Amino acid sequence: MQPEDTPALRELYKGFENHHLIPLWTQLGDLMPIHPKPRAVPHLWKWSDLLPLAEKSGELVPVGRGGERRAIGLANPGLGGHAYVSPTLWAAIQYLGPRETAPEHRHSQNAFRFVVEGEGVWTVVNGDPVRMSRGDLLLTPGWCFHGHHNDTDQPMAWIDGLDIPFSQQNDVGFFEFGSDRVTDYATPRFSQGERLWCHPGLRPLSGLQDTVSSPIGAYRWEYTDRALTEQLLLEEEGQPATVEQGHAAIRYVNPTTGGDVMPTIRCEFHRLRAGCTTPTRREVGSTVFQVFEGSGAVVMDGVEHTLDIGDLFVIPSWISWSLQAETQFDLFRFSDAPIMERLNFARTHVETPDR
Amino acid sequence: MQPEDTPALRELYKGFENHHLIPLWTQLGDLMPIHPKPRAVPHLWKWSDLLPLAEKSGELVPVGRGGERRAIGLANPGLGGHAYVSPTLWAAIQYLGPRETAPEHRHSQNAFRFVVEGEGVWTVVNGDPVRMSRGDLLLTPGWCFHGHHNDTDQPMAWIDGLDIPFSQQNDVGFFEFGSDRVTDYATPRFSQGERLWCHPGLRPLSGLQDTVSSPIGAYRWEYTDRALTEQLLLEEEGQPATVEQGHAAIRYVNPTTGGDVMPTIRCEFHRLRAGCTTPTRREVGSTVFQVFEGSGAVVMDGVEHTLDIGDLFVIPSWISWSLQAETQFDLFRFSDAPIMERLNFARTHVETPDR
Amino acid sequence: MQPEDTPALRELYKGFENHHLIPLWTQLGDLMPIHPKPRAVPHLWKWSDLLPLAEKSGELVPVGRGGERRAIGLANPGLGGHAYVSPTLWAAIQYLGPRETAPEHRHSQNAFRFVVEGEGVWTVVNGDPVRMSRGDLLLTPGWCFHGHHNDTDQPMAWIDGLDIPFSQQNDVGFFEFGSDRVTDYATPRFSQGERLWCHPGLRPLSGLQDTVSSPIGAYRWEYTDRALTEQLLLEEEGQPATVEQGHAAIRYVNPTTGGDVMPTIRCEFHRLRAGCTTPTRREVGSTVFQVFEGSGAVVMDGVEHTLDIGDLFVIPSWISWSLQAETQFDLFRFSDAPIMERLNFARTHVETPDR
Amino acid sequence: MQPEDTPALRELYKGFENHHLIPLWTQLGDLMPIHPKPRAVPHLWKWSDLLPLAEKSGELVPVGRGGERRAIGLANPGLGGHAYVSPTLWAAIQYLGPRETAPEHRHSQNAFRFVVEGEGVWTVVNGDPVRMSRGDLLLTPGWCFHGHHNDTDQPMAWIDGLDIPFSQQNDVGFFEFGSDRVTDYATPRFSQGERLWCHPGLRPLSGLQDTVSSPIGAYRWEYTDRALTEQLLLEEEGQPATVEQGHAAIRYVNPTTGGDVMPTIRCEFHRLRAGCTTPTRREVGSTVFQVFEGSGAVVMDGVEHTLDIGDLFVIPSWISWSLQAETQFDLFRFSDAPIMERLNFARTHVETPDR
């Protein structure tokens, strides 16, 4: 479909180059593919690889002002050496040694932490100390000051999720240093945000203004577990409660709106009954899962990967995927779905199984 | 300001009458007052009067198809013999004897129940049995089938709130009879709606569609009490948590939106520290309070009324009011504020105290 | 279904009366009918009756401070002598003699004017003089100052529509006097609001904040006529453009939101081809039509009424109606539909014709 | 701030590499800069360079299935040889020779065209032929079929704007071929969309469902010019109408919502009085201007560029800029602001001039 290669055409193309121009007709397939053809690839990181490297970093790399965090980012093999798990998302394992402090700062990028094991660290968000324990989701929405400190004699590791690649690609990020130490070393069981907001269906009259991101700093495992347990029980009782047969799931939401916890990142938790397999799906946008409990597998783009606790995998846009539960299988999930939905790019395709 | 009374004017006015016309200039002050001049008056109903009358009704009046409910409506003395507590709201004490059933029906009118004392009744809303216990708020949004049954050998009384006057004035109501018995006599501790939705900040993936009214059928006292307790504790710790000094309050909300539980009725719960007096307020729209615990007083339009547990009072539109707490003082509140806000008529005036 | 009349029951009922209580079981059918049973009745006011009475008022009744407006309200025969065309709406004919001024005031009530004939009056809304000409819809949203003056030697009459009954019933109205004369006697062809906002699909950067009511003060006949003409032409060309075969219609909207012009009142204009009959409908909420051009009939609750230019008729809630066009038939319409929709009471039933 | 380079550290870093991991502490400044540091640079493309190259392409490059469009994309010199004018936006000059047809297709990417000179082409959007004339903005929102044909014996050039870079970076795009010829070669003066929707403040009753993108296919120069003219006249009359002194501006909007025309692209038109200079601004997100009429200059990042008709320039995120009008100065503008606002990344800084 390309024009004949003539001296005149070469001169034209030279003119394009000289004037910082590129013709569409030589690029169309790349620029506008028939369906999303991500450079990012499906990939699995084993917790058994990640944790020892994080521990070793704890020995060799100090944490403090400048480097800011002892965080090791998952670099999608398809994305050319950038610390991007997908074009929009950052995922990392962060590690804090005994009694260490990661200094306070804030940035436009939205962040959360999820704890697959351990406890003992408090993250201090806009002055509110938030305990981090196993199974908890902790939020630090854009432009909130935050630092962490480990109140124990044991190290702790967890995962961080942010919209760093999106922010960097689109030039939206600001960053500001805060206190070198966290502003409050108290270690309360519950943060102020939780004490105000974690009462189901109740909203404080002092908080009637809707907020862009959730005012809840910590979503506790106890509640997540109970919600999923109830869904499976209701399913057994014949009530509509699960998203699919054998598949319970919750979305973490902003209680002021019922919508996603942050403007760019969706967080969910999924539980499959032993033996359950989810239908094969494709979705616009990228998503990351971390196994929290149990064992099973994921099939991505036709390739099966066995999964154990702590394992992280990324599913790029429009790559087919299905989960398989060997035991009861618990997975934390985050994605860029709010971006896709707010900009009207969301699409899902679910394969109907042959019979 | 009126035109001179002449034969010609009388003939004109006769012409108006013949053609179903009324001039504005004879009516302006009534039709468009300088500020709201409600016909409804501030009024207090004592629980010590209400409960014996409800009990007596239990003896004399059967409950069943046709009459539907053994409910006794509060009739505002200013509203000419209608069972309207205000121009928009209905409030009633309802009474169900041992083992009785109030049959199922549904209607456009939005309804709730609040329990100031007792337990043992289940309300079955669209087939979901909901326990009614002390301090609970129970919802039956418009067009949900609902009936009640008393599972015990003790009678039970509670209050109902609806938008019946609004519906009747504006001709919006439909009504349909359902089953003569409730569809499910089970007495579970928690309803399906609670089991799916009462996990703070968590939304089931099977319930991602927003709903006009809350999917939570029961807002339990345990959560309300804890939320208020935390607000007062946070206030003591110097955190912003209460709506005013010494005044904790929550609004019951629809978790799919963060907004009011139903399109026409707002429900709240207020707790004042002993000794606290709220600033004198005027608000567009009418509101009803019921004392839940403690003792105190309300000043409405300059008149003080002493308050005990169960007492109900109505504050019509733009009537000044202030609450005074003798002991720690708990009050349930409902109002037509969603109507006022959605139609842009809401206004509040708070008096600044003299110094 | 009522309890047996015994001395004990009478004593109970006496107790209710003494304590301002009314039982539900004696009132249910009235309070909660099977479907809306409006007290308001369908009614037609002939322009040939209205205009002479307005002219006579022009002779006998001065216009000025106190009476404020020479407006004659349509009083629904079912509403007991109130100047309410329906439970929510006010409709009136207003008359201003040569060179007269109606003084400025403002009120919470939302208002519009529609001009079925004549010209020469300017309404000054928050200081912006707005020409009133045949076929124009003019808005004065709640709490905007407004006055009118007749710049000619001819009288002029038009209709006013407001939410006065709704405001009065629900005690939401405030009123404030303004200047005794209008603040600006200029007679520009186009108001500032039109000059800023009446460019299709274009929004001034100085007006990016959404407003509760439309910033357009005048919706000109020229545009309405053209929009309806195009719909009928598109229909002839086989394009989907009309609401029903032979029935073109536009809704006047707030350009900042695409929604209704004011929070409580919907305004529309309908054009039927000669010979067109609309399906029989019932709707929750009340509506008023005024014939603008052509002749035809309306069937309300099974009764046919012949219609001529200027005639006004009201259709109360859930009353069946159908329009019939003898000639091409133009009608202005207003209703309380925004109230019904915002509070989730809207319902429509369209009869399918027998075949 | 980096850890000491030791064999152990090198081994750790080797481990990172082997497992597709990258530490944050070596990347922080790049990943999370203090403020946006775009790789894209401010750049100006002269119309006097672009048009001859487009004309030459008309001679040498056929238009048809496969290449799809004779469009030449502006390639930001900072973006490494991609045809991206900014990280989010595509801008191109498109050229269609006499009697040529560009075949129909559709894609997820949102597109518009703006005509700086010429006429004679119709773009057929979902079957609706839309005339393209000087000063018009034409929309083809995501997933609408569209093709173009030149009905004259003269060539025509215009600019295209799309969200191609955003779509490609984030893997959201789908593409589908349509008819090889346009489906309708009619050349009506006005499209169906205009005839239904371009009546200010009026909405067809057949179009009450809100749409994600504007239903208006063509925003005509006549209306844009009139809106800007009125703003400057109102300013002269002392009314608030312009966005800044001497600076009139409109935003093209979706009439069903009052919001942006498409979910990812904002379109505006700006007119400066001769001699006017705008305050120096920085904004998050990138924007492109094209000069439509008059002459002047832009200062970007402190560098002044002289501007003539047709010239295009891009301002990357957070780069300072100010416009200067020599004559009355008209500029079309488009940007990714809807992305920034919907995802809560929008920020603006306006420099206050020294005095």
pLDDT tens digits along D308-328: 999 999 999 999 999 999 999
Q: Counting Cβ atoms within 10 Å, is residue B30 exposed (0-12), middle (13-18) or buried (19+)?
A: exposed
Residue A253 token pair = 């939401």
b/e code D130-146 from CB counts within 10 Å (16+ = b) = bbbbebbbbbbbbbbbb
Residue B333: band (very low, low, confident or very high) from pLDDT cuts 50, 70, 90: very high
Q: Provide the CB-side half-sphere exposure for C277 (13 A, CA).
A: 10
Write the pLDDT tens digit of every residue in D40-58.
999 999 999 999 999 999 9
Checking if the pLDDT of B355 tops 60, the result is no
- Most B CBs within 10 Å: which of C6, C18, C25, C282, as the mutation test of the B interface? C25
**Residue A223 phi, psi dihedral angles, 5° rounding:** -75, -40
Domain boundaries, chain A: 45-350
The rounded mean pLDDT for chain D is 97
Instruction: For chain A, list residues with pLDDT below 70.
Output: 354-355
Residue D223: band (very low, low, confident or very high) from pLDDT cuts 50, 70, 90: very high
pLDDT number for residue A80: 87
Query: Nearest 5 degrees, angle CA A333-CA A337-CA A342?
Result: 155
Tell whether A258 is within 8 A of chain B (Cβ): yes
How large a percentage of chain B has pLDDT more than 70?
Answer: 99
Tell whether B239 is within 8 A of chain A (Cβ): yes
Write the pLDDT tens digit of every residue in B14-62.
999 999 999 999 988 889 999 999 999 999 999 999 999 999 999 999 9
Asked if chain A contacts chain B via 3 or more Cβ pairs within 8 Å, the reply is yes
The rounded mean pLDDT for chain A is 97
Cα A153 from Cα A120, distance rounded (Å): 9
The helix or strand, by DSSP H or E, that contains position A70, with its residue range, turns out to be none
Residues of D numbered 331-350 whose beta carbons fall under 8 angstroms of chain C's beta carbons: which are they?
Answer: none
Closest partner residue to B164 (CB to CB) among C31, C40, C50 is C31
pLDDT number for residue D355: 56
Write the pLDDT tens digit of every residue in B158-201.
999 999 999 999 999 999 999 999 999 999 999 999 999 999 99
List subunits contacting chain D, requiring 3 or more Cβ pairs under 8 Å. Answer: A, C
The residues, ordered by sequence, that sit 6+ positions from A8 with a Cβ below 8 Å of its Cβ are D56, D59, D60
Query: If you write DSSP's letter for every residue of D182-235 in order, what string do you get?
Result: -S-----SS-HHHHHH-STTEEEGGG-S--SS-S-SEE-HHHHHHHHHHHHHHH
Write the pLDDT tens digit of every residue in C320-334.
999 999 999 999 999
Checking if the pLDDT of B354 tops 80, the result is no
Cα B72 from Cα B159, distance rounded (Å): 9
CATH number for the domain formed by residue range(s) A45-350: 2.60.120.10
Residue of A nearest to D8 (CA): A60
- Chain A CB contacts of D73 under 8 Å are 21-24, 27
Closest approach of chain D CAs to the CA of A230, in angstroms?
Answer: 33
Residue D343 token pair = 């995802």
CB contact under 8 A, D23 and A72: yes
Closest partner residue to D60 (CB to CB) among A12, A169, A336 is A12
Residue B85 three-state SS? coil
Quote the DSSP letter at residue D89.
-
> Could you tell me the CA-to-CA distances from D26 to A61, A263, D16, D23, D167 in Å, in that order?
11, 28, 12, 6, 29
Closest partner residue to C234 (CB to CB) among D192, D216, D219 is D192
* Strand arrangement, sheet containing B247-252: A202-204, B247-252, B266-272, B329-335, B287-293, B312-315, B43-45
- Chain D CB contacts of A319 under 8 Å are none
Tell whether A230 is within 8 A of chain B (Cβ): yes
Domain C43-350 has CATH 2.130.10.10: no
Number of neighbouring beta carbons within 10 Å of residue C236 = 11
Tell whether A181 is within 8 A of chain D (Cβ): no
pLDDT number for residue D28: 87
Query: If you write DSSP's letter for every residue of A176-242 in order, what string do you get?
Result: EE--SS-S-----SS-HHHHHH-STTEEEGGG-S--SS-S-SEE-HHHHHHHHHHHHHHHHTT-S-S
Cα B47 from Cα B114, distance rounded (Å): 14
pLDDT number for residue D305: 98
Write the pLDDT tens digit of every residue in D86-127.
999 999 999 999 999 999 999 999 999 999 999 999 999 999
b/e code B283-297 from CB counts within 10 Å (16+ = b) = bbbbbbbbbbbbbbe
Average pLDDT over residues D183-197: 97
Instruction: For chain C, list residues with pLDDT below 70.
Output: 354-355
- Most C CBs within 10 Å: which of B168, B343, B347, as the mutation test of the C interface? B343
Average pLDDT over residues B254-268: 98
b/e code B2-12 from CB counts within 10 Å (16+ = b) = ebeeeeebeeb
Checking if the pLDDT of B1 tops 80, the result is no
Q: Which of C2, A96, C217, C46 is nearest to B70 (CA)?
A: C2
Amino acid at C138: L
* Strand arrangement, sheet containing D348-350: D303-307, D296-300, D321-325, D281-283, D348-350
Write the pLDDT tens digit of every residue in A239-249.
999 999 999 99
Cα D303 from Cα D320, distance rounded (Å): 10
Residue D354: band (very low, low, confident or very high) from pLDDT cuts 50, 70, 90: low
Helix axes C7-18, B47-60, angle to 10 degrees: 160
Residues of B numbered 91-110 whose beta carbons fall under 8 angstroms of chain C's beta carbons: which are they?
Answer: 92, 107-109
Closest partner residue to B256 (CB to CB) among A224, A249, A258 is A258
- Chain A CB contacts of B226 under 8 Å are 199
Write the pLDDT tens digit of every residue in D29-38.
889 999 999 9
